[in-house]
Chain A
């Protein structure tokens, strides 16, 4: 078995790529996908530690995170569709009103 550091660095790389995506992209859908990537990176950490400590709790939390990601995607896309219907755009920096 490899040292756990490998997993941590992989997870870190994915997390930062996701974060960079959130910051740089204007398309809300891709921003949402980047958030999914971040959550996924966290999952790698949890599962790796769960394996190395021999405690299944980490995997339970990873499951919760997947559930959370599903909820987030559903709500996020719902908001996006509602927004798209009103403004006909999916660019994040055009979401500049509190109410429309």
Chain B
């Protein structure tokens, strides 16, 4: 609260009804800022005329920590950035270090990595869908989404023992062999998921209140998206067909057929549709991948102590929330000289001010939700 209501000098009459500008503080303790985001909103009545994000409440110095850990030791830390899609974070980091080592994970490891990462994408999108719907006032989808997410987390748990911060991959491949019924579990999940996702569509896609709340809300056109560096579903909903899984294939994505859904309008509704369709596509990728998991080793020969040659590498993957990049500089020692992470949430969050200007406070909630940010990743 920047100023109280009762004791103030009479305001300037430059807003509707002569009421003065209201500065409202949304967060860091606000139910729908998804963690500890704080947005200072300048309001004219209920209409936003300006905003400012205040971040850093969850800053843990992840990048600095990397400089004091060996390459393997740092791997679990990246799980804690975007803690709802830990597997994807791990994939990006492991592949980046592999690139630095000029090693490559064996095919079996890459396929299993792909399966788990795509499951993680579905889980992340499910969590997004549930909370986004809750922000807009639909209570029930959250529980359905959690139900499905639970099945994915169970698969993770069976695979590596952890559910949230999995540390599923190792540099050079996998620590664990796939458990016996992995294919069966994934298949069962994928089979049931088609009907479940239809359920959400029935609840939301053609619901006129949902459309009313999301259509034309938080418009972001392609040019602005690119200028702001937005990526992931936010970018694709604006009509730009850019997906690193297709553009610079990594893991085993080049082996599978899938579509990149794009939107036309770049509004909240399009982002919703894009993410729903992405879940469907991820499901297809999983189904294709379990058909044929190659046999062979799961770990490349990288040695116990990693000492990459001096040099630098940038490797980016298409995380659930957008392009997740790792820039690692090695000085030839056992610890990275510098690690810089390009978190999709942080960069997508830049678009917030542009998107909420001229909208109502109510829409701010919807727009924060549609950006799908995770504050652990924004603040690192």
Instruction: Let me know if A81 and B17 touch, CB within 8 A.
Output: yes
Query: Size class of A's contact patch?
Result: under 10
Instruction: Let me know if B18 and A89 touch, CB within 8 A.
Output: no
A88 to B18, CA, bound (A): 8
Residues of A within 8 A of B295 (CB): none
Instruction: Let me know if B10 and A85 touch, CB within 8 A.
Output: no
Instruction: Let me know if B13 and A89 touch, CB within 8 A.
Output: no
Question: Chain B's interface: helix, strand, loop or mixed, by majority?
Answer: loop
A85 to B11, CA, bound (A): 10
A86 to B17, CA, bound (A): 11
A85 to B17, CA, bound (A): 7
**Quick check: is A52 within 8 A (CB to CB) of the other chain?**
no
Chain A 61-86 interface mask (CB, 8 Å, partner B; 1/0): 00000000000000000000100111
**Quick check: is B8 within 8 A (CB to CB) of the other chain?**
no
B229 to chain A minimum Cβ distance, whole angstroms, is 42
A57 to B12, CA, bound (A): 49
Instruction: Let me know if A88 and B17 touch, CB within 8 A.
Output: no
- Closest chain B residue to A85 by CB distance? B18
Which residue from A81, A88, A89 sits with its C-beta under 8 Å from B12? A88
Residues of B within 8 A of A84 (CB): 13, 18
List B residues 1-33 near A (Cβ within 8 Å): 10-13, 17-18
List A residues 5-52 near B (Cβ within 8 Å): none
Residues of B within 8 A of A86 (CB): 13
Residues of A within 8 A of B10 (CB): 88-89
Residues of A within 8 A of B12 (CB): 88
A88 to B11, CA, bound (A): 7
A40 to chain B minimum Cβ distance, whole angstroms, is 27
B20 to chain A minimum Cβ distance, whole angstroms, is 10
- Closest chain A residue to B14 by CB distance? A85
A64 to chain B minimum Cβ distance, whole angstroms, is 30
- Closest chain A residue to B13 by CB distance? A85
A81 to B18, CA, bound (A): 8
List B residues 35-89 near A (Cβ within 8 Å): none
A86 to B13, CA, bound (A): 7
Name the residue in B12, B17, B18 with the highest tally of chain A Cβ atoms < 10 Å from its Cβ: B18
A82 to B21, CA, bound (A): 18
A81 to B10, CA, bound (A): 14
- Closest chain A residue to B18 by CB distance? A85
Residues of B within 8 A of A81 (CB): 17-18
Residues of A within 8 A of B17 (CB): 81, 85
A81 to B17, CA, bound (A): 7
A84 to B14, CA, bound (A): 11
A28 to chain B minimum Cβ distance, whole angstroms, is 14
Residue pairs across A and B with Cβ atoms less than 8 A apart, 13 shown, are A81-B17, A81-B18, A84-B13, A84-B18, A85-B13, A85-B17, A85-B18, A86-B13, A88-B11, A88-B12, A88-B13, A88-B18, A89-B10
6 closest Cβ pairs, A-B complex: A85-B18, A85-B13, A84-B18, A88-B10, A88-B13, A81-B17
Q: Chain B residues in contact with chain A, CB under 8 A?
A: 10-13, 17-18
Q: Chain A residues in contact with chain B, CB under 8 A?
A: 81, 84-86, 88-89
* Extra contacts besides A85-B17, A88-B11, A88-B12 (9): CB < 8 Å: A81-B17, A81-B18, A84-B13, A84-B18, A85-B13, A88-B10, A88-B13, A88-B18, A89-B10
